[in-house]
Structure 1
Amino acid sequence: MGSGWRFKAILFGAWMGAAYLILPMLVIFPVSLTDKRFLSLPSLDKLSLRHYETLLEPTWLSSIGQSIVIGVGCAIVSVTLGTLAAIGLWRMRSALSDTLFGLLVLPLVVPPIATALGMYGVWHRLGLFDSYLGTILAHSAWAVGFVVVTVYAGLSNIDRSWERAARSLGASAAQSVWWVIVPNVMPGILSGALFAFVISWDEVILTLFVTSREINTLPKQIFVAIRDNVDPAIASAASGLVVLTMVAVAFQGWVAARRQRGKNAI
Structure 2
Amino acid sequence: MLHHRLARAATALHAAYGVLMIVFLLAPLLAMVPLSFSAGSFLSYPLPGWSLQWYRKVFSEGPWVAALANSLVVGLASTVLATALGTAAAFAIARRNLPVRRSLLGLLLAPMIVPPVITGLGMYFLFSRLGLTASLPGLVLAHTVLATPFVVITVTATLQQFDMNLLRAAYSLGAPPWRAFAGVAVPCILPGIVSGALFAFITSFDEVVVAIFIAGPAQRTLPRQMFDGIRDTIDPSIIAMSTFLMVVAAMAVGLSAWLSSRAAPSQRASVPATP
The normalised TM-score by structure 2 is: 0.92
CA distance 1:95–1:119, change in 2 (3 Å): same
Map 1:30-109 to 2 at 5 A.
Answer: 30-41=34-45, 43=47, 46-55=49-58, 56-94=60-98, 96-109=100-113
Determine the structure 2 residue equivalent to 1:259: 263
1-structure distance, mates of 2:45, 2:252: 27
Q: Are 2:162 and 2:267, in contact at CA under 8 Å, matched by a contact in 1?
A: no
Instruction: Determine helix, strand or coil for the equivalent of 1:195.
Output: helix
2-structure distance, mates of 1:130, 1:112: 18
Of 237, 245, 251, 1:233 maps to 237
Of 27, 49, 66, 2:31 maps to 27
CA distance 1:250–1:192, change in 2 (3 Å): same
Deviation at 1:250, TM superposition (A): 0.7
CA distance 1:173–1:265, change in 2 (3 Å): closer
Instruction: Determine helix, strand or coil for the equivalent of 1:48.
Output: coil
Determine the structure 1 residue equivalent to 2:206: 202
Unaligned runs of 5+ in 1: none
1-structure distance, mates of 2:7, 2:85: 46
2-structure distance, mates of 1:49, 1:42: 17
Deviation at 1:264, TM superposition (A): 6.0
Q: After the TM superposition, which of the residue ranges 8-17 and 30-39 deviates more from structure 2? A: 8-17
Determine the structure 2 residue equivalent to 1:134: 138
Q: Does 1:217 align with 2:227?
A: no
Deviation at 1:203, TM superposition (A): 0.6
CA shift digits 1:153-180 (9 cap, x unpaired)? 1111111110010000001111111111
CA distance 1:263–1:166, change in 2 (3 Å): closer
2-structure distance, mates of 1:212, 1:4: 58
2-structure distance, mates of 1:202, 1:94: 34
Unaligned runs of 5+ in 2: 271-275
Of 164, 169, 185, 1:165 maps to 169
Instruction: Determine helix, strand or coil for the equivalent of 2:43.
Output: coil
2-structure distance, mates of 1:175, 1:93: 22
2-structure distance, mates of 1:154, 1:71: 23
Identity of aligned residues (%): 37
Deviation at 1:129, TM superposition (A): 0.5
CA shift digits 1:40-74 (9 cap, x unpaired)? 2354x820111111111321110011111111011
Q: Are 2:40 and 2:49, in contact at CA under 8 Å, matched by a contact in 1?
A: no
The normalised TM-score by structure 1 is: 0.95
Deviation at 1:92, TM superposition (A): 4.5
Q: Are 2:192 and 2:263, in contact at CA under 8 Å, matched by a contact in 1?
A: no
Q: Are 2:116 and 2:209, in contact at CA under 8 Å, matched by a contact in 1?
A: yes
Q: Are 2:198 and 2:252, in contact at CA under 8 Å, matched by a contact in 1?
A: yes
2-structure distance, mates of 1:90, 1:263: 15
Q: Are 1:63 and 1:221, in contact at CA under 8 Å, matched by a contact in 2?
A: yes
1-structure distance, mates of 2:193, 2:57: 36
2-structure distance, mates of 1:57, 1:231: 18
Letter in 2 for 1:252: S
Map 1:185-196 to 2 at 5 A.
Answer: 185-196=189-200
Q: Are 1:38 and 1:232, in contact at CA under 8 Å, matched by a contact in 2?
A: yes
CA shift digits 1:204-239 (9 cap, x unpaired)? 111111112121111110111111111110001111
Instruction: Determine helix, strand or coil for the equivalent of 2:219.
Output: coil
Letter in 1 for 2:205: W
Determine the structure 2 residue equivalent to 1:3: 7
